[in-house]
Structure 1
Amino acid sequence: MAKNRFNDGPGPSNRQLRVGELIRRTLSDVLNRGDIHDPDLNRMSITVSEVRASPDLKIATVYCLPLGGKNRPEAIAALKRNKHELKRALGKEMSLKFTPDLRFLIDETFDRMDDTRRLFARDDVQRDLDDGSDGDAP
């Protein structure tokens, strides 16, 4: 069975993936509409990039990032502070038997992509890449 890099167990099921995507879209809509009664949260533009549902679908880990990547701690604090209201809003819009508990984490994918771009832009790395690009095997 295939393993994923996040929990060293079997990869997520199709059901987990479908529920995660449904939660991601719904949560994004709720945050964009400003349905939550918290001026601090409504002032922020938060991108929900991924939601991973646990195998029993009782916990949803929400990976998000505030616009521009600034004020990360404040964004996570505002989301955690409004977790119950967000869960209630999800429950109203989704047709799941149980609304999962929400956990919020900063999505660091964009930071890793920037680090990778910087690495590939280095002169010594470019030189190594150019040296091996002619297709000749040593």
Structure 2
Amino acid sequence: MAKARDEFAGQPSQRQLRVGELVRKELSDILTRGQISDPDLDGVIVTVPEVRMSPDLRWADVLVMPMGGRDLNVVLTALKRNAKYLRGQVARRLTMKYTCELRFVADTRFDDDDLITRLLHEPSIRRDFADGGIDDDQGEDDRD
């Protein structure tokens, strides 16, 4: 008998999503209030769009992006330098058996979206759309 979870293999569980959102909210609040005394983070607005939790909830990949995308490497270095402090602040705010280790990663999803948009507007790709090279009804069965 197959496990009920096979169709969702590789996707985060409901618990991972819930804990990730709680950690994201707390980190956003800490960064918004400017509770970190680091000169590289003074006056920098950092957004935290997503936190991805490991299945055992011991690690959290925190996707961050400074407003406007400026000084990304400087901000990432400063956040990594202050990871222990931020972990302690999150631990005080959340009630969990273990507090997750924080790994800060640049959020490149907007850059990826721009790349896909540029690729779709290239002449060779637009020609495929105009020639009918891509069938929108592909995969649908005919029903009368």
TM-score tier, shorter chain, comes to: 0.7 to 0.9
Structure of larger gyration radius: 2
* Structure 1 stretches lacking a partner, 5+ long: 4-8
Ranges in structure 2 where 5+ consecutive residues have no aligned partner = 1-5, 139-144
> TM-score under structure 2 normalisation?
0.82
State the 4+ residue runs in structure 1 displaced beyond 2 angstroms.
133-137
The superposition leaves residues 8-54 of structure 1 with CA deviations (integer Å, 9 ceiling, x where unpaired) of: x6321111110011111111111011011213213221111211111
**Match status 1:72 vs 2:69:** no
CA displacement, residues 60-107 of structure 1 (integer Å, 9 cap, x when unaligned) = 111111111221111110100111111111112212222111001111
Looking at secondary structure, tell me which structure has more helix per residue.
1
Q: Label 1:99 to 1:42 Cα distance change in 2 as closer, same or farther (>3 A).
A: farther
What TM-score comes out, normalization by structure 1 length?
A: 0.85
**Residues 1:135 and 1:61: Cα distance change in structure 2 (over 3 Å):** closer
Instruction: State the number of aligned residues.
Output: 132
The 1:108/1:134 distance shift into structure 2, 3 A limit, reads closer
Matches within 5 A, 1:46-65: 46-65=46-65
